Homo-oligomer: A and B are copies of this chain.
Amino acid sequence: MTIKEASELTGVPSATIRYYEKEGLIPAIDRNEVGVRQIDDRIIRRINFVKTMRAAGMGIDILRRYIQLFDAKEDNEVQQRELLQEQLAIMEEKRDDLQFAIDHLTFKLENRAHMENAEAELRQLEKQHEEKGERGGDEN
């Protein structure tokens, strides 16, 4: 399969596939005699995997580190667990943020008729959110 066909199949632009290869997010792709990439199912799966993780908001650096551990021949279970658990926590928080945003929009769609203004809505939503968890941090 050519890079263009792989691009059409995965929805990832050719230039991005080349970029992912260069960045080590997918394995080095086999070439034919003149240097043209020959993409197979294994690479397609890797592209889709990267696509999914990127869509989930995982950064390139962490994804690369993850994939390097993932592909390593040696046993690196402890390192893997550390990295994975860290990422898992970040993703779960992100999912919860997303769920809060979804709840907000859903609430808005369902209750718009009864709301006088934006402020009342935000107060209402906040009440719902507070029942679940605390947020914080600091920068200035």
Q: Footprint of B on A, CB under 8 Å?
A: 4, 7-8, 11-14, 16, 42, 45-46, 48-49, 52-53, 55-58, 70-71, 77, 80-81, 84-85, 87-88, 91-92, 94-95, 97-102, 104-106, 108-109, 112-113, 118-119, 121-123, 125-126, 135-140
Contacts and interface: CB of A to CB of B under 8 A. Distances in A.
Interface of chain A, main secondary structure: helix
Contact of A137 (B11, B45, B113): B11
Smallest CB-CB A-B distances: 5 pairs:
A11-B137, A56-B101, A55-B97, A13-B139, A56-B98
A139 B71 contact: no
A111 to B, nearest CB: 12
